[in-house]
Structures are given as structure tokens and as C-alpha cells.
Amino acid sequence: MKRIASILAATTVFVTPAMAELELEKDELTFGFIKLTDMAPLAVAYEQGYFDDEGLFVTLEAQANWKVLLDGVIDGQLDGAHMLAGQPLAATIGYGTEAHIITPFSMDLNGNGITVSNQIWEEMKPHVPLMEDGRPQHPISAASLKPVVEKYTSEGKPFNMGMVFPVSTHNYELRYWLAAGGLEPGFYSPENISGQIGADVLLSVTPPPQMPATMEAGTIYGYCVGEPWNQQAVFKGIGVPVITDYELWKNNPEKVFGLNAEFAEKYPNTTLAVTKALIRAAMWLDENDNANREEAVRILSQPEYVGADYDVIANSMTGTFEYEKGDKREVPDFNVFFRYNATYPFYSDAVWYLTQMRRWGQIAEAKPDSWYDEVAKSVYKPAIYLEAARLLVDEGLANEADFPWDSDGYKAPTPAEDIIDGIPYDGRTPNAYLESLPIGLKGDQRVVGTEVQG
């Protein structure tokens, strides 16, 4: 039936006046993803027939890790992919693999958490404020972890935690949380890309689905990862999520859909068609106060997508989040796919990632504010997004009021009360923002050997 629907869509695409403008340059596409719930727009666009409606014959392929995924997009084995937002930016500026990757579509807001092992949680608990009912007061600051880290350090034990990739949101969120609590998460330098220079907590890469098992084995004491791998630790009884990224930075940007810039230039109509399908999927995921989330969980629980148990995925995807076993709380915006302009690729989101790369030494030298703006505009492509949105509105498939037509690409500054350390963020002034952060590189500082100089 899926194939029949695709054939019908392909034959009607030239008949329907609203869609006749998009004569596809390429209609057979392969997209990559990692087994995380925030790949949902891809799975939904496929399962709900939105790719079919655009005349696209799409194959979705799970990838082993983020590097394999990025390499696949660069070498053309993949036509596009669910990506860490930092990946297109890092590749474009030549940090790691060099290639010009763009994004016309931001896949979601929020969706991550930081989990610690049961042992670490028991050691943290005496330092965690409690509510009147005896449950922990959220958000939990890394200040409650600091005495635990200091104890381990005094005993000669390295304190190891996991994140999914050096330019991942998870790396930067974990670093942000640690630094906000007074812990040094370590620096990078051109000569030392471990990210552990001067670190109190040693961060290393673990692929998302392997996080719970790696923590259970004692290799790491905790991790930052997307769902369902925080809730999996709760279900397995091996760990406790201590904070969600919604609590860390309300409605922070997460994954993007990444394409090689050459692909977008060579196949502009195909790129628009893909973006249209993804926008429709995001709308479906959030419409009617998340009414479709249970169906989305059913889709994602299939082995070809995320493959975790239905109940594990549903624990966060349907508007709740469980911390300690039995301590389930309402977090309706834990996963956001469309509301709050989640799918619009804001330049200010790109700039935040770049500031974190600079903060921790992945960008070794100081850059002027204009550089951040130029890089953001070379990677994030709101013009493609809005063109796709306009087509959907004209076809009667989307509401005009749901899109930020007049945006200059920069969000209003994030207020202090929406970020755990109480420091506001304005993407228009990246260097002033870096100066405001107590831990991390600022001004002309750089990492030389094991020291910050300047």
C-alpha cells in the first residue's frame, strides 16, 4: 500500500495546480538518522505519507553513530540526515571533517536530559534541596554534584561522564550545567581535542543507545543524552535523571535536518519538497495539544526507528518525565516539534552553538560578532524554510499565522529566568555573552598546553 500511495502521489503531483510548480530534480532519496525520539519528523513524514504527497520516494536508514551519519551526507551515500545542530556548523568552519552543510529545517526544541548512576545520586541527595512533600526540588544544580566530584578527586578517582559527540548539544548542555554549578568541564585546543584540559569532570563520547549499559558497567558515572535513553535508565533501575534541558534552558534548539550545500543548489525543488513534508510532520506531532503523540510513540517504538519499548518512549514523549522511579512529573514541553516556531532555523540558535565552541576552545581564536553572523547565515537557511511554508499555506495545508514571516532570523533574547545560571542570551551580541559567562574562554584568551592564556 505504501508503494501504491507513492505512485499515486507521483502521478498527481503534476496534475494538482498548487504542486505543479515543484518539478522534482531528484525523487528517490535516502535519509539517515540516529535512534532517538527526536528523529520523529522523519518517521512521521514517511508513515503519514507526507513524503509521498510531494512525489518523493524516501528510504530511512538508522546510522551507527554521528560521525558515520555525517560522513554519509558528505560523500553522498545519504541525501540528508537528522543531525546534531553543531554538526553542520562545525563541518562548515572546518572543525573536524570539513564540508559545507546547510539546514533549512530545525527538528525540535528540548528533548534531552542528564542522568547519573544510582550510586552518584545517593551521594548527591544530601546536597539537593527538597520540596515540602520530600521530593527533590527541580531544577537540580550541578552544585549538588560538586562535593561528590571533589570527594572522588581526593581519592584519586577520575570522574567520568558521557556525551554523544564533541559538537553535540549534549556536550554543550552537560558543560553548561557543570559550569553553572562551579565545576570545570575542560577545554579543547588545536593540539588536544580530548576536551579534558583542566577538567574536574572528564567528558567522553558514547553513542546514545549505549549510554545506559556503559553507565551500568561503571565506565561512566552519568551522561547527557536524548530520549529515550534517560528514561531507559529509570526503567532499568540503574540511574536517575537529575535535570532536563528544558529546565537547563527553556525551549532550547536541538537537532536539525542537514543537507550538503551542493545538494540544495543542484536540487532546489527537491529540497523544498523535503522541507514541506518535514514541516507537515512537525505540525502533526504538536497539533491539538499533542493529541497524536501516542500514535507517534507507536511509530517510534518500531525496530526500524528507535526500537525502545512503547512505555519507555511514552514516558517523556507524551508530556511527562520520570526522575526517580515513581517521581513522574508533568513536562508538557519536554518534546516540542512545531510550536514556538520550533522548525524555523534561527540564526541565533546557530550563534549559540558557535559561542559554546568558542567557550570551550573548539574555536581556538577570538572572532568578531560579524563572523558569528556570517557563519550562521551560511549554514541556517530560513529563506528555504519560508518558501516551503508559503507553498503549504497556498495549498491550504498550513496556517499563515504559524510562521514568522517578518523575522530577521534572530529570536528575542532569552531572559535570565529561562536559563539555569540566570545569564540571559542574545544571539546578536555573542562576544558580550561570552564575557558574561564565569567559566570558559573570553576575549582573546586561548588554550596553550594545559593553561588558559590571555
pLDDT at 31: 98
pLDDT tens profile 61-91: 999 999 999 999 999 999 999 999 999 999 9
* 3-state secondary structure at position 437: coil
pTM of the model: 0.94
Q: List, for residues 333-361, the tens digit of each pLDDT value.
A: 999 999 999 999 999 999 999 999 999 99
Each domain of the chain, given as residue ranges in start order, spans 2-110+253-402, 112-251+428-453
Q: What is the pLDDT of residues 203-260, one digit of tens each?
A: 999 999 999 999 999 999 999 999 999 999 999 999 999 999 999 999 999 999 999 9
Q: Are 336 and 108 in contact (CB under 8 A)?
A: yes
What local confidence, expressed as pLDDT, does residue 370 receive? 98
Q: How many CB atoms lie within 10 A of CB 18?
A: 12
* Residue range 104-141, pLDDT digits in tens: 999 999 999 999 999 999 999 999 999 999 999 999 99
Q: What pLDDT is stored for residue 1 in this prediction? A: 37
Q: What is the mean pLDDT of residues 391-406?
A: 98
Q: Is the dihedral of CA 230, 234, 238, 239 positive or negative?
A: positive
**pLDDT (tens digit, 9 = 90+) per residue, 261-306?**
999 999 999 999 999 999 999 999 999 999 999 999 999 999 999 9
Cα–Cα distance between 227 and 224 in angstroms, integer? 10
**Length of the chain (residues):** 454
347-359 vs 86-93: helix crossing angle, rounded to 10: 70
> 112-251+428-453 — its CATH code?
3.40.190.10
Asked if the domains at 2-110+253-402 and 112-251+428-453 fall in one CATH topology, the answer is yes
Least confident among 6-10, 69-73, 174-178, 310-314:
6-10
Give the pLDDT confidence score for residue 440 in this predicted structure.
Answer: 98
Q: Which CATH architecture has domain 2-110+253-402?
A: 3-Layer(aba) Sandwich (3.40)
In 206-301, beta strands by DSSP E: 222-226, 239-244, 256-260
Q: What is the mean pLDDT of the chain?
A: 94
Burial of 406 by CB count in 10 Å (0-12 exposed, 13-18 middle, 19+ buried)?
Answer: exposed
Instruction: Tell me: cis bond preceding 139? Omega within 30 of 0 counts.
Output: yes
Q: Which three cell numbers stand for residue 91?
A: 563541518
